[in-house]
Structure 1
């Protein structure tokens, strides 16, 4: 005779604890800002390169690529923890490729997650 606990008193193991969501949110926010800043620097590098034939910022595309890769990992991690639908996740991932959009999307996602999970 085994007893099963009432469903209302147990929490499913698939729900992410708030402290893990808070950590993932912080990592995502930091990477969204860093990615956005490096993307703006990439735009400046392209203007210098193609407009003025100046190669002084040739390192920027390489660094931005790696920063964007880390941003992707952090955004996917957060999306899994908060269970974003695939469309929202893809839009959030693409936000790191359009100047200024990563700042706006980061702000919106932070508002949503803080309201939804109270973190």
Structure 2
């Protein structure tokens, strides 16, 4: 489970950064200065990386037994700038809290 969470966290950050580059740099260059090169290159990279994000999210959701609605909402977080960072933090906190090992109880003697 920890490996699946780590994979998810890494790809969530990568997808988030690439999406921000696309929206903050690529879109203004394309529509403001008629320079589509950033959108053409970064857009394709984001598309490929988003597919990896979907796979990582699906893998994690199956390992921690999420309901379908939560899995879909986390998957959609990769399409909104900055939301993947928030979702990654929430997911990490939730998964680690659910799968934390309980502290050993003292033996009464």
Fold equivalence (TM over 0.5): yes
Structure 2 residue ranges without an equivalent (≥5): 102-109
Q: How many residues align?
A: 99
User: How much has 1:50 moved relative to structure 2?
Assistant: 0.8
> TM-score, structure 1 length as denominator?
0.80
Partner of 2:94: 112
Structure 1 residue ranges without an equivalent (≥5): 1-20
Q: Which of 35, 38, 47 is the equivalent residue of 1:54?
A: 35
User: How much has 1:55 moved relative to structure 2?
Assistant: 2.7
Q: Is 2:54 the partner of 1:64? A: no
Distance in structure 1 (CA, Å) of the matches to 2:99 and 2:59 = 16
Structure 1 or 2, whichever has the larger Rg, is: 1
Q: Is 2:26 the partner of 1:45? A: yes
Which aligned pairs between 1:1-119 and structure 2 lie closer than 5 A? Answer: 21-43=1-23, 44-57=25-38, 58-118=40-100
SS at match of 2:37: coil
RMSD: 1.1
The structure whose residues are more often helix, as a share, is 2
Distance in structure 2 (CA, Å) of the matches to 1:78 and 1:110 = 11
Moved over 3 A (4+): none
